[in-house]
Amino acid sequence: MNALTAWSAALFVLLLGGCDAPPPDKPLQYGTQPSAATVTTHRFAVHPLHNPQLLAEAYQPLVDHLNRQLDGVRIELEASRDYQAYEEKFRARGPAILLPNPWQTLEAMKVGYHVIAMAGDAEDFKGIFIVRKDSGIKTPADLKGKTVSYPSPTALAACIMPQYFLHGHGIDINRDIRNAYVGSQESSIMNAYLGKSAAGVTWPPPWRLFQRDHPSEAAQLKLIWETPPLLNNSVMLRDDVPAAVGEAIRKTLLELSQTPAGEKILAAMSTGRFHAADNASYAQVRDYIANFEKDVRPVEKK
């Protein structure tokens, strides 16, 4: 690949800034605070699909819409600096509402959260490999001895499923390649663009947003492989959230796709629609993870 220009280096700093030393974890708090003391505030923590600014752009319209539908309750969007910080929050039972990935869904069940919906179509939940068009990468075997970037070792679609894909194509991910966990979906893609990794792993929604927001950089990249799909991210409630509040949230989410205003909110999140789901819906993910840990590696270091 040709030497990087100063402009590319600057872009790298902007998009990858904080990968080595993440910035402090700060909740996102947008909108007017209610004056009535009787209003209960619930934090809605979305796992690090994007950097905090992009996450706010994508999910604040949903939070605003929920707040218009709920009486006596206010929801605040909360970002996390990385996957590990997010997982610490729900294990401490901090946020009342979660939007976790399917593996995090299983972990959150252990501490008293339950599923009320699935966010997006199952067919959209798959890992994808992004490479430069001039990379020369054609088969998984071409990655041997090279670096592959991922957001986090606990990212299901954007790490676990792709590593299982490589395992199925004869790659020992613990020996044949170097695994770089770079903190975010955008960073994983940009590592591939800048040649810091031979392939950047992500999943479809961040890749679609990257193509929209950075068309010139995306034009130099291509999607080369994708994994089979699994279940999509869930929406979960902590077990002490009143049942009436949970039902109002669930109903609002499931009805979003039925109106033009709701379709606009879904488009901002790059999400097709919300589907009805419960804890039992994620049983197949538990089986998938058990096989992955048997064949490849533990999801978390103990």
**Average pLDDT by stretches of 10, the chain with 302 residues:** 44 42 47 57 92 89 96 94 93 98 97 97 96 97 98 96 98 98 94 98 94 96 97 97 96 96 94 96 96 96 74
DSSP 75: E
Task: Identify which of 28, 97, 35 has the alpha carbon closest to the alpha carbon of residue 58.
Answer: 28
d(CA 127, CA 156): 8
Cα 132 → chain centroid: 22
- What is the per-residue pLDDT for 31? 41
Together in a domain, 117 and 131:
no
The neighbouring-strand residues paired with 223 are: 130
Residue at which a domain ends, from 197, 226, 255 = 226
Per the document, the length of the chain is 302
- What is the per-residue pLDDT for 1? 47
Together in a domain, 214 and 142:
yes
- What is the per-residue pLDDT for 53? 86
Domain around 69? 40-121+231-295
Q: Are 234 and 284 a contacting pair, CB within 8 Å?
A: no
- What is the per-residue pLDDT for 5? 43
Q: Supply the pTM of this predicted model.
A: 0.83
Together in a domain, 112 and 76:
yes
Together in a domain, 205 and 133:
yes
